Structure 1
Amino acid sequence: MKEVMLAKYGELALKGKNKSQFEGLLLKSIKKRLLKFGDFDIKKAQSTIYVIPAGEGFDIDAATTALTKVFGISSVNRAAVVEKDMSAISKASAEYLRDELASASTFKVEAKRSDKSFYLDSMQIAAEIGSGISSKFINLKVDVKEPDVRVVIEIRDYGAYVHSGNIGGAGGMPQGSGGRALVLLSGGIDSPVALHMAAKRGLDVVAVHFMSPPYTSPMAQEKIRKISEKLCGWVGRLPVLFVNFTEIQERIAKYCPDNLSTVLMRRSMMRVAEKISVKEKCNAIITGESLGQVASQTLEALICTDDATSLPVLRPLICLDKAETIQRARHIGTFEPSILPYEDCCTVFTPKNPKTKPHLREVIAAEEKGNYLEIESEVADNYQVEVFRY
């Protein structure tokens, strides 16, 4: 009995004349993500991508898990495929789902007939398969509302597919379909979640991490590597740019008002990030800021921050509370490395009494006295690149 995987579209199915462009990006992502699991063939039809193992060594368990993390896929089915013949379908239903049916008390058969030329309709298919299962598993009862096992039959163009229901996918849009953006990756809980949410909307992402040695330790950089490895399970490939921000922060601390140091630091990061974005061909900056969470994330502070760059600043978490962000961080696997106790440059220079409602004019005036604007270009030109892959 041949086993395949069905990867089904989400909102991508609603696209019009440019749908093929999105499909091409999705196919590219799937091929790259599954390459390490062995040989396979791939084809698409009816808003579904069919992944067909081509050799004995194909790791279908790991491949199925990997598919659920590819953006653009709403659900995945691991299914047995047989010819479109009711006796073959009945036999496959009992054999392929034998373990699940044997341990269950109730079941339900659902039939979907996208191939309308098939001689039975969905109700007739479900009735006949259900009758066959009941005769083989005499202790099973039918429960159409809350069954222990769902037996799903899909009659499609390429054959009949038997499985036990959908495995949730990552959703969103294929990576690269929304452009390219630079993400400020701090090492805290928030920014990795922001990166994941941006990638889910089709953005190809590049991460930048500002470090301040010797105030930040090598372990803080190692923490970013651990976070990036987790994110690669979702984005496949992640370039991370490590920027030495020490001299700028030292000058802000020396020459500028302490209560404005955080917003001045954020403005400097934005200018450096914009310069890097030009080289990395990014058209937006993404941060993990959430409205009102800390002093630098009040509306007044964000206005001052955004004034420093001409690029759009996207904030996926802007209206999430911390509990929601933590829940997402746990889901994508970045929570544990994010709470490792190694400080980043945003925390080591935190002022005692930051101004929560700064005025742009006073911020610009303080900035002009800071004696650091002239070195931002040099900082933006000297970064280390590490590329993480799934």
Structure 2
Amino acid sequence: MKEIILCKYGEIALKGLNKSTFESMMVKTIKRRLASAGEFRVTKSQSTLYVEPLGENPDVDEFETRLSKVFGIVKLCRSGAIEKDLKAICEQAPEYLAEVLEGARTFKVNARRADKKFPQKSPEICSELGGAILDRFPHLEVDVHDPEVTVTVEVREDYAYVHSDPVDGAGGIPVGSSGRAMLLLSGGIDSPVAGYMMARRGAVVEAIHFEAPPYTSDRARMKVETLAKLMTAYCGDVKFFCVPFTEIQELLRDNCPEELFTILMRRLMMEIAQRICEKDGDIQALVTGESLGQVASQTMYAMVCTDAACRMPVFRPCIGMDKSEIVEIARKIGTFETSILPYEDCCTVFTPKHPKTRPSLAEVEKAQASFDFEPYIQKAVENTSVTLIKNR
């Protein structure tokens, strides 16, 4: 019996005349993500994508793991494809699901007859298959309210697909359906989560990192590159920009009020990021991992001063989240353990002892205007390195 993974989606099914565009994007993403896992075939029908691993002894577990990280897929059902005949279903389904049923105590059968030409109706399918399962596994009991295992039969166009409880997908909408955005990627916990959340809403995520050697080490940069690599499992390939920022930070330290250092630094980061976006092409927004009130530079007053330096929208998907919520997502996407490695990034260099939490825009702009940063901004842009960090 061949195995086929049914990939089901949620809000994409509601996209009306644009549905096929979203489906095509998701199919392209699936083909890219699975390319190194082995041969496979992808087809689509009835708001479902069918991924069929091909060849001898395909690693279906690996296919399923990779598909679970493709945005747009809400549920994954690893299914046995059986001839559309009730006798065949009753003979083959218990054997296909033997491993999961042997370890359970209760079950129920759920039938979905998408092909209305199939002669038996759903209640008859449930009754016959339920009896066959009880004959094969006499230790089981039927529990229609709270079963340990739900056996589902989906009678569709080509086959009857039999599976147990589905696996959660990544949800969201396909990467590439919502434009491109530049993520300010530090070595912390929050910014990779912000990038993940933007990709989940369809954005192609690029990443920009500011390094300050010798105050930051090569290991700090390697840590951030590792975070970008981990993000590719969900976001796809990431174009990684690394900006030399030491000189600008030293100039800030020597020429500006200490209590405004972090806000001025972030304004200059935003300016550099915007220029790189304009230079690189069609990037519509900046993204940060800021959460309101988390640190001094993330008060509403500070963000107003930061945004005043921006010509582009700044998205902050973590803005209303508690730290515990951000950490939970970081653990889920596999970035947390790397984020907490003890290698400092440039945001922790020259941190003021008493940062101002309620700065006014007038005083911040006056402090920035007291020194001509323009040639140093342009120099940083020109000396920025670019690396493509690929998925797999």
Alignment of 1:297-308 (within 5 A): 297-308=298-309
CA deviations on 1:121-150 (whole Å, 9 max, x unpaired) are 222211111011112211211011222222
Structure 1 partner of 2:386:
385
What is the match of residue 332 of structure 2?
331
Residue 255 (structure 2) pairs with residue 249 (structure 1): no
Aligned partner of 2:157 in structure 1 is 157
> Is the Cα–Cα contact under 8 Å of residues 252 and 372 in structure 1 kept in the other structure?
no
SS of residue paired to 2:16: coil
Inter-partner Cα distance in structure 2 for 1:157 and 1:382:
57
Aligned partner letter, 1:194: A
Query: Within 5 Å, which residues of 2 pair with 1:120-135?
Result: 120-135=120-135
Structure 2: unaligned runs, 5 residues or longer: none
For 1:279 and 1:54, the matched residues in 2 are separated by: 43
Distance in 1 separating the partners of 2:197 and 2:132: 45
Secondary structure of 1:76 counterpart: strand
Query: Is the Cα contact below 8 Å between 1:105 and 1:148 reproduced in 2?
Result: yes
SS in 1 for 2:183: strand
- Matched with 2:70 is 70
Distance of 1:108 and 1:57 partners within structure 2: 30
Q: Secondary structure at 1:259's aligned position in 2?
A: helix
Residue 184 of structure 1 corresponds to which residue in structure 2? 184
Q: How far did residue 96 of structure 1 move?
A: 0.3
Q: CA deviation at 1:371?
A: 2.8
Q: Which structure 2 residues correspond to residues 94-243 of structure 1 after superposition, within 5 A?
A: 94-243=94-243
Deviations 1:71-109 (A, max 9, x none): 010011111001110011111211101122122221111
Q: For residue 312 of structure 1, what is the aligned residue in structure 2?
A: 313
Which sections of structure 1, spanning at least 5 residues, go unmatched? none
How far apart are 1:52 and its partner, in Å? Answer: 1.2
Which has the larger displacement, 278-287 or 169-178? 278-287
Compute the TM-score of the two structures, normalised by the length of structure 1.
0.98
**What letter matches 1:196 in structure 2?**
Y
C-alpha separation in 2, matches of 1:145 and 1:279 = 59
Tell me which residue corresponds to 1:376: 377
Task: Quote the Cα distance in structure 2 between the aligned partners of 1:28 and 1:279.
Answer: 27
Letter in 2 for 1:20: S
Q: Point out the more displaced range, 6-15 or 145-154.
A: 145-154
Q: Deviations over 1:312-361 (max 9, x none)?
A: 00000000010110111101100000000011000012111111011111
The 2-side partners of 1:224 and 1:96 are apart by 44
Partner amino acid, structure 1, of 2:331? R
- Report deviation, 1:369: 1.2
Residue by residue over 1:127-179, the C-alpha shift from the partner in whole angstroms, topping out at 9 and shown as x without a partner, is: 11101111221121101122222211111112100110210000000000000
The amino acid that maps onto 1:80 is: G
**What is the alpha-carbon distance in structure 2 between the residues aligned to residue 147 and residue 139 of structure 1?**
14
Letter in 1 for 2:16: G
Map of 1:291 onto structure 2 = 292
Distance in 1 (alpha carbons) for counterparts of 2:383 and 2:25: 32
Q: Distance in 2 between matches of 1:264 and 1:276?
A: 19
Q: 1:185 is aligned with what amino acid?
A: L
User: Could you tell me how far apart the structure 1 residues matched to 2:272 and 2:183 are?
Assistant: 12
Give the secondary-structure state (helix, strand or coil) at the position aligned to 2:303: helix
Q: In the TM superposition, what is the alpha-carbon distance from 1:290 to its structure 2 partner?
A: 0.5
The one-letter code matched in structure 1 to 2:96 is: Y
**SS across alignment from 2:35:** helix
Give the length in aligned residue pairs: 390
Specify the SS of the correspondent of 1:227.
Answer: helix
1:279 Cα deviation after fit: 2.4
**Cα shift at 1:58:** 2.7
Equivalent position of 2:352 in the other structure: 351
Q: Could you tell me how far apart the structure 2 residues matched to 1:157 and 1:198 are?
A: 36
User: How does the TM-score come out when normalised to structure 2?
Assistant: 0.98
The one-letter code of the counterpart of 2:49 is: I
- Identity among equivalent positions (%) equals 51
Cα distance, 1:57 vs structure 2: 4.9
Q: Is the 8 A contact 1:37 1:60 kept in 2?
A: no
> Counterparts of 2:105 and 2:21 in 1: how far apart (Å)?
46
Contact 1:276–1:381 (8 Å) recurs in 2: no
Distance in 1 between the 2:107 and 2:32 partners?
Answer: 37
Q: Residue deviations 1:184-239, cap 9 Å, x none?
A: 00110000000000000000010000010111011100111221221111112112
Separation of aligned partners in 1, 2:374 and 2:260 = 16
- Please name the residue that 1:49 is paired with: 49
* Distance in 2, Cα, partners of 1:159 & 1:57: 21
Give, in whole Å, the separation in 1 of the partners of 2:27 and 2:352: 49
What is the alpha-carbon root mean square deviation over aligned residues?
1.0
1:361 match: 362
Contact 1:92 1:162 in 2 (8 A): no
3-state secondary structure, aligned to 2:17: coil
CA distance in 2, matches of 1:103, 1:75: 23
What is the Cα deviation at residue 388 of structure 1? 1.8
